[in-house]
Amino acid sequence: MSIVLMPEKVDFRISTTDLHATYTESGGVTLRVDVQTREDMPLDQYREAEFTFSTAAELRCVTLNFFELYAGQVEGIPHTEDVLHFWESNGYHPDPGFYQFVDSPILDEKKTLFDPRNRLDLKHYLVAGYDSYVEVIASSYLIEVKNKGEC
């Protein structure tokens, strides 16, 4: 069985060994990760990004490398020799570490439980770090990328 991932069109790539996840019933899911923008890459600098999924139905945190766990089963991520050229031309990294599952069997199975009237437009997202990953079933998200030196 293959897993099809569609990269989210974000102007950074996740570059982290730590994923910080917070879930509250009323506040949804907040994730904090380190990212690199195009500006940061030549300087080997990082920034913190905060993902907020305000209407979240499920959060799964797994301490394994997603791509090693599912080696040979993942499709949909563009492969390019010149990542920087792709990034500059398209405005997003081809392999940002943040994806949406296409035709997610988990979402298909749980959609009637979480959203029986189909009002929330739930999606199944993946945020992949080096040695861990997070899956979130949510309606939408906001991302705030902090400026360098900002806490």
Q: Rounded distance, CA 127 to CA 140, Å?
A: 14
Residue 31's DSSP bridge partners are 21, 51
pLDDT in the model for residue 150: 55
Model confidence band, residue 149 (pLDDT cutoffs 50, 70, 90): low
Residues 6+ apart with CB under 8 A from 47: 12, 34, 35, 36, 37, 40, 145, 146, 147, 148, 150
Reported as a single tens digit per residue, the pLDDT across 13-39 is: 998 878 899 999 888 999 999 999 999
Reported as a single tens digit per residue, the pLDDT across 40-83 is: 988 889 999 999 998 999 999 999 999 999 999 999 998 888 98
The percentage of the chain sitting over the pLDDT mark of 70, rounded to a whole number, equals 97
Classified as helix, coil or strand, 37 is: coil
Integer Rg of the chain from CA: 16
Q: Rounded distance, CA 13 to CA 32, Å?
A: 13
What's the pTM value of the predicted model, to 2 decimals?
A: 0.92
pLDDT in the model for residue 26: 85
Reported as a single tens digit per residue, the pLDDT across 122-148 is: 999 999 999 999 999 999 899 999 986
Residue 97: is its pLDDT beyond 60? yes
